[in-house]
Amino acid sequence: MASEHVGIERAERSHHAAPPVEARNGESLRRFVAVALGAFASVLLLTGIVNAIVDPLGSVGTGLVQPVVFSDHAERLKLIDHLRQPPQLVVLGSSRALKAEPSYLQRLTGLRGFNAAAANGKTEDGFAYANLFHDRWPKARIRYLWILEAEAFRDRPPSPQLLAEPALARHFPASLRAGSRLADLQRLFEWQTTKSSIKTVWHALRGAPQEGAVQLGPDGFRAVDAHDVSERAGVPFQTRFNESVLTARTFVPAMEKTGLAPDARRYFEQAVADMNAWGIEPLIVLGPVHPAYRAALGGPAYDRLNDQLTQYLAGLHGRLRFTVADERNLQSFGGSPSEFYDGIHLHVANMRKMLAKAVQEAGPALQ
C-alpha cells in the first residue's frame, strides 16, 4: 500500500511539473504576440516622434527643418509680420488672385496694398485674413478687394495649413481647431508622413528648395510660381489647361448639383459683415475663366453654377454692404484668351486689364 501511495504522489508531482504541450505552446504564443505588439507600438511611437521633430508638413511648428511642402499661409504671415505700417488695400482670394499686383493697384487707387490671396483658398481664407489684419491694426482703415469665383464655395473644411497657423486659426471654432489638430496627430503615424520626413531631411541636406516654393514680394505678390516655371520650361498650354480641367472635374460637377456650400456661404457673409462693422464696404471682383474651360466643364451647366453665385450675391444686398464688379466676360475688359496660364489663372497682362476695369466700377468701395 505504501508503495502505491508513493507512486500516486510521484504521478501527481509529475503531472504538475510538466504541463501539456498545448499549454506550453499557448503560453509561448501569447508571449510572442505581446512582444510583437510591444515592438510594433515602440516603432510606431518612435516614428511619430521623428515625424513630429522633422515636421515635414509644417503642422507641428517645430521649425527645426524647413517643411518639404511650401505653405502660402506660413510665408505670408512672415511678410505681414515685417510690415512697418498697415496696408490700405488688401487683396483676398484663391490662387486666381495671386497675380494681382499691389503696386499696380496703388497706381490705380493711390492705396498702399498687400496681396493676401492663398493657393486653393476658399471663403474661410478670406474671412481669416480680413480678421487677421483687423486684429493687427484695429484702428486702421483697410479696404478689401476680393477676387471671387463660384469654385471658392465648394464643400470642403478649412485647409490644415490654414488651421496650423494660430494667428489665422484663432478665428475658427475650438471644435474645428481641435479636430484639425487631432487629424495632424494621426498623420504623424502614417507611412506617407514618414516618407515626407525622409524627403524633407534629404532636401535639407542637399539644400534643395521646397516643393511648390514661389518668389513672394514684400507686398505678397507672387512674382514667380509653379505656373511661371511650367510655362518657362516649355510645357504646352494645352497640357497646363488639361490639368486645370481635370482638377476642376473632381469637385465642380458635384457643386453643379448641390450648389454653393452652406459653410462657405457662412464664412463669406461673416467676413463681409465684419468688414461692414469696421466701416468698410469691400469690392467683390468676379473674374473670368478661359472660354475653353467653360466648354470643358459642360457649358450651360457651368453657367448655371455661376448664375447661382450671381443670385446669391444679389440676395445679400439687403443686409450686407459690398460692391460687385462682374468681370466674368473676358471681352468686357479687353482680356485675351492667350493671356492665361491654364483654364483659370490669368497672366499679369489680363489681371491688370481686369483690375483697371474693376477699379472703375468700385465706387465708394476703394475710397
**Cβ burial, residue 315 (10 Å; 0-12/13-18/19+):** exposed
27 or 6: which carries more pLDDT confidence? 27
Instruction: Give residue-wise pLDDT tens across range 64-99.
Output: 555 555 578 888 999 999 999 999 999 999 999 999
Instruction: Give residue-wise pLDDT tens across range 184-236.
Output: 555 555 555 565 555 555 444 554 444 555 788 999 999 998 899 899 999 99
Q: What is the mean pLDDT of residues 148-166?
A: 88
Q: What is the pLDDT of residue 39?
A: 67
Q: What is the pLDDT of residue 148?
A: 98
345 falls in which pLDDT band (50, 70, 90)?
Answer: very high
In the predicted model, is pLDDT for residue 4 greater than 90?
no
Q: What contacts 61, CB < 8 A, 6 or more positions away?
A: 55, 164
Which of 72-76, 108-112, 317-321, 325-329 shows the lowest mean pLDDT across its residues? 72-76
Q: What is the pLDDT of residue 209?
A: 47
Instruction: Give residue-wise pLDDT tens across range 163-184.
Output: 888 899 898 887 664 544 545 5
What are the residue ranges spanned by the domains of the chain? 1-69+174-208, 85-156+212-366
Instruction: Give residue-wise pLDDT tens across range 274-313.
Output: 999 999 999 999 999 999 999 999 999 999 999 999 999 9
Q: What is the pLDDT of residue 330?
A: 95
Separation CA 153–CA 125 (nearest Å) = 11
Separation CA 222–CA 47 (nearest Å) = 36
Q: Does domain 85-156+212-366 have CATH number 3.40.50.1110?
A: yes
Q: What is the pLDDT of residue 74?
A: 86
Q: State the cell numbers at 33.
A: 504576440
Cβ(55)–Cβ(62) below 8 Å: yes
Q: Name the percent of the chain lying above pLDDT 70.
A: 71
Which of 39-43, 136-140, 143-147, 247-251 shows the lowest mean pLDDT across its residues? 39-43
Average pLDDT, the chain: 83
Q: What is the pLDDT of residue 75?
A: 87
In the predicted model, is pLDDT for residue 327 greater than 80?
yes
